[in-house]
Chains A and B, each alone.
Chain A
Amino acid sequence: MHPIRKKRLTIVLFLVAGIAIAVGLTTYALRQNINLFYDPTQISAGEAPVDVRIRAGGMVEEGSVIRDPNSLKVEFRVTDFNASVPVEYVGILPDLFAEGQGVVAMGQLNGQGRFVADQVLAKHDENYMPPEVADALAKSAKNGQQPSKAGDAPAY
């Protein structure tokens, strides 16, 4: 290669590497702000601020959803399989909201460690399958076998 071109190439590579390092350090420093939500482990460890609008995300714990029969009030626990946080919310839930599904809730953590949400969004995972396959998986899980996909990772 021509020496001038070699020199230009070196400059270009240094330029890209320099910017990558700068952006990498910035995003590393700001990682808590880039994270969309706190997970239940962080919240129960006291990392999330109290009485400030934050988001909490995780999976709706199986069997934890309590719907108030007279109003739109819902209580449920959000878990990441290490810790769980109680959430209360008044309003219409998204269609995909269900036990065992991922959610991201926006609201405030009160002094008692309860999360009072004013918006609940559904979070789904990257697994797509036809309804029949999902039924078959659920059936085999009930029979004591491990489901092949959903079981091996917390998919929230």
Chain B
Amino acid sequence: MWQIFHKLGSPKWFFGIATRLMPWLLAGGVLLMMAGIVWGLGFAPKDYLQGNSYRIIFIHVPTAFLAQSVYIMMAVAAVVTLVWRMKLADVFVKAVAPVGLVLTFLALFTGAVWGKPTWGTWWIWDARLTSMLILLFLYGGVIALDRAINDEKSAARAVAVLVLVGVVNIPIIKYSVEWWNTLHQPATFKLTEKPTMPAEMWVPLLLSVLGLYLVFGWLACLRMQTEILVREQRTRWVREHVMAGRT
């Protein structure tokens, strides 16, 4: 079993798998996202209370969902980095941190623009919004810390520790709306319960969430490949790969 695990950590093996997966991830992701967004924007019924402004949900929820998922994946990779010293785990953290930053920013931005017409304010320091802002800073911190340390190995360890320290923020984001009084409403999508909206609203939402996951998968593969090329440029297989692509 451990052998498979170590094979998974081989950059060369991953590079090949990623190349084969990427077209499917991109095509599937863009298709699902477009279906979800077109359905959500043009065909889903409007909300009885918020009217059409609720249509922002079809990108607000996917970006917020992904922003947290990406961080959890980074935390798992950080454990692997610290315990098994697997290079690929560290490559993952470095490749996806900027993507997480953009997704968190988008979640905050779309939330603010949605908050203005519905709540009456762009921003309020409630537990949900503040913990999400902390997530943005954590992503920023991970990127900055990685850039600040030149030595690859010490950078990997320092970044992994920071990611793990920050992971306590994730349950705080998730449960903030239940533990404390907040302006933000509780979750519409829960794993254990039925969504609090009819199917013609939650199906497009689910499509765009799945689509964004696939697009993220594509971005992660692409950026990890780039990072692998940089790190492994002295190896024979990278040299062969690069020179084979020469025309």
- Contact indicator per residue, chain A 5-20, by CB within 8 Å of chain B (1) or not (0): 1001100100110011
B83 touches A5 (CB 8 A): yes
Selected contact of B79 from candidates A12, A104, A123, A129, CB within 8 Å = A12
A58 to B57, CA, bound (A): 24
Task: Knowing A8-B82, A36-B181, A123-B185 are in contact, say whether A19-B119 is a contact too (CB < 8 A).
Answer: no
Selected contact of A123 from candidates B2, B50, B119, B164, CB within 8 Å = B119
A sample of 5 more A-B contacts (CB under 8 A), given A36-B180, A128-B201, A149-B196, is A16-B164, A96-B50, A126-B186, A129-B47, A134-B49
B83 touches A122 (CB 8 A): no
CB of B133 closer than 8 Å to a CB of A: no
CB of B198 closer than 8 Å to a CB of A: yes
A12 to B83, CA, bound (A): 8
B contact residues vs A (CB 8 Å cutoff): 2, 45-50, 54, 57, 79, 82-84, 117-121, 124-127, 161, 164-165, 167-168, 172, 179-183, 185-188, 196-198, 200-201
CB of A154 closer than 8 Å to a CB of B: no
A36 touches B183 (CB 8 A): yes
- Interface of chain A, main secondary structure: mixed
Complex contacts, B50 vs chain A, CB 8 Å: 96, 124, 128
List the A residue with the shortest CB-CB distance to B185: A126
Task: Knowing A31-B180, A39-B181 are in contact, say whether A130-B161 is a contact too (CB < 8 A).
Answer: no
Q: Which 7 A-B pairs have the closest CB atoms?
A: A134-B48, A94-B120, A130-B45, A128-B197, A36-B126, A131-B48, A35-B181
A114 to B2, CA, bound (A): 67
Complex contacts, B180 vs chain A, CB 8 Å: 31, 34-36
Min C-beta distance of A65 to chain B, whole Å: 16
In this complex, the interface size class of chain A, counting residues with CB under 8 Å from chain B, is 35 or more
CB of A23 closer than 8 Å to a CB of B: yes
A129 to B120, CA, bound (A): 21
Complex contacts, A1 vs chain B, CB 8 Å: 2
A contact residues vs B (CB 8 Å cutoff): 1, 5, 8-9, 12, 15-16, 19-20, 23, 27, 31, 34-39, 57, 94-96, 101, 104, 119-135, 149
Complex contacts, B84 vs chain A, CB 8 Å: 5
17 A-B pairs whose Cβ atoms sit less than 8 Å apart in the complex: A9-B83, A12-B83, A19-B168, A35-B127, A36-B127, A36-B180, A37-B181, A94-B119, A95-B117, A121-B119, A124-B49, A125-B185, A126-B186, A126-B196, A128-B54, A129-B48, A133-B198
A22 to B90, CA, bound (A): 27
List the A residue with the shortest CB-CB distance to B2: A1
List the B residue with the shortest CB-CB distance to A13: B79
A130 touches B48 (CB 8 A): yes
Selected contact of B46 from candidates A23, A123, A127, A130, CB within 8 Å = A130
Complex contacts, B125 vs chain A, CB 8 Å: 36
Complex contacts, B185 vs chain A, CB 8 Å: 123-126
A23 touches B198 (CB 8 A): no
B120 touches A121 (CB 8 A): yes
Selected contact of A12 from candidates B82, B127, B182, CB within 8 Å = B82
A130 to B201, CA, bound (A): 9
